[in-house]
Amino acid sequence: MEVEVKFRYRDGVEEKLREIAELIIEKFEHDFYFNHPCRDFKKTDEAVRIRRDVEGVTITYKGPKVDSETKSREEVKVKVDSFENAAELLKKLGFKPVEEVKKTRKIYRVGDAIVCVDEVEGVGRFVEIEIESESIKDKEKLFEIAELLGYSRDESITQSYLEMILQEK
């Protein structure tokens, strides 16, 4: 499971982050979201996307959020050799292209957690703090990191970038 909290970016956050974290990579991520042939992912709170970035191409399934306070959800990822073939495969299976999300992402590591500073086209800058874990209780670790960056837990945003972009439209 991907246990994850998200906050709107505030001035000075990245300076605080640099004091406690190590920058791993800065990259451009191009995501293509699809809807299911016979389930409405908007209603079931699921998602499928193909991501293309400098590290390659992945197909990711995201399950419904399991927690009201965070963006935590099950994720299944598979790395693939071709964006075009992956998109064609999904289309042949009846999946419908919904929306693209483009962002520049700086990834920092803090212990076994990851902090992403994202600049998302059309919706702005955000900070995501995440950890791979079997237990939703690990969100507490994430709120501790968030506090070091100046965020209180009631500032946590549960909306995904996809939902934000669709809402903007």
Rg of the chain over CA atoms, in angstroms? 16
Return contacts of 58-64, CB within 8 angstroms, 24+ apart. 59/86, 59/90, 62/2
Q: Is 33 noted as a catalytic residue in this protein?
A: yes
Instruction: Return the range that interacts with a second copy (CB under 8 A); candidates 70-78, 102-110, 116-124, 135-143.
Output: 70-78
Q: Could you say whether residue 66 binds a second copy (CB under 8 A)?
A: no
The angle subtended at Cα 140 by Cα 71 and Cα 128, nearest 5°, is 40
Tell me whether residue 60 or residue 104 sits nearer to a second copy (CB atom): 60
Instruction: Return the range that interacts with a second copy (CB under 8 A); candidates 71-79, 105-113, 128-136, 159-167.
Output: 71-79
d(CA 42, CA 165): 13
CB 81 → a second copy: shortest distance, Å?
A: 4
Binding site for a second copy (CB under 8 A): 36-39, 48, 59, 61, 63, 74, 76-82, 85-86, 88-89, 92-94
